[in-house]
Structure 1
Amino acid sequence: METSFALTGKGYVIVAADTTAARSIVKMQIDQDKIKELSPHLLMAYSGEPGDTIQFAEYVERNIRLYQIRNLYPLRPAAAASWIRRSIAESLRSRNAYSVNLLLGGYDTSTHTPNLYWIDYMGTVVEVPFAAHGYGSYFALSLLDRYHDPEASLEEGLATLKRCINEVSKRLVVDPGKYKVKVVDKDGIREVEI
Structure 2
Amino acid sequence: MESVFGLVGRDFAIVAADTSAVHSILVHKTNEDKIMVLDSHKLLGASGETGDRAQFTEYIQKNVALYQFRNGIPLTTAAAANFTRGELATALRKNPYMVNIILAGYDKVTGPSLYYIDYIASLHKLDKAAFGYGSYFALSMMDRHYCSDMTVEEAIELVDKCIMEIRSRLVIAPPNFLIKIVDKDGAREYAWRESIKDAPVPTA
Q: Same fold (TM over 0.5)?
A: yes
Query: How many Å apart are 1:135 and its aligned residue?
Result: 0.2
Once residues 173 and 109 of structure 1 are traced to their aligned partners in structure 2, the CA distance between those partners, rounded to angstroms, is: 42
1:148-174 per-position Cα deviation (integer Å, ceiling 9, x unaligned): 111010000000111000000000011
Structure 1, gaps ≥5 residues long = none
Structure 2, gaps ≥5 residues long = 194-204
Equivalent residue letter for 2:59: Y
Could you tell me which residue of structure 1 aligns to residue 121 of structure 2?
A: 123
State the SS of the aligned residue for 2:121.
coil
Could you tell me which residue of structure 1 aligns to residue 171 of structure 2?
A: 173
Once residues 44 and 65 of structure 2 are traced to their aligned partners in structure 1, the CA distance between those partners, rounded to angstroms, is: 14
Could you tell me which residue of structure 1 aligns to residue 104 of structure 2?
A: 105
The question of 1:37 aligning with 2:37 is answered yes
Q: Which has the larger radius of gyration?
A: 2
Query: How many Å apart are 1:110 and its aligned residue?
Result: 2.7
Tell me the number of residue pairs that the alignment of Structure 1 and Structure 2 aligns.
192
Once residues 44 and 101 of structure 2 are traced to their aligned partners in structure 1, the CA distance between those partners, rounded to angstroms, is: 7
State the SS of the aligned residue for 1:22.
strand
Once residues 128 and 73 of structure 1 are traced to their aligned partners in structure 2, the CA distance between those partners, rounded to angstroms, is: 25
Could you tell me which residue of structure 2 aligns to residue 81 of structure 1?
A: 81
Per the normalisation by structure 1, the TM-score is 0.97
State the SS of the aligned residue for 2:64.
helix
State the SS of the aligned residue for 1:184.
strand
Identity across aligned pairs (percent)? Answer: 47
Once residues 41 and 96 of structure 2 are traced to their aligned partners in structure 1, the CA distance between those partners, rounded to angstroms, is: 28
The question of 1:61 aligning with 2:61 is answered yes
Equivalent residue letter for 1:84: T
Per the normalisation by structure 2, the TM-score is 0.92
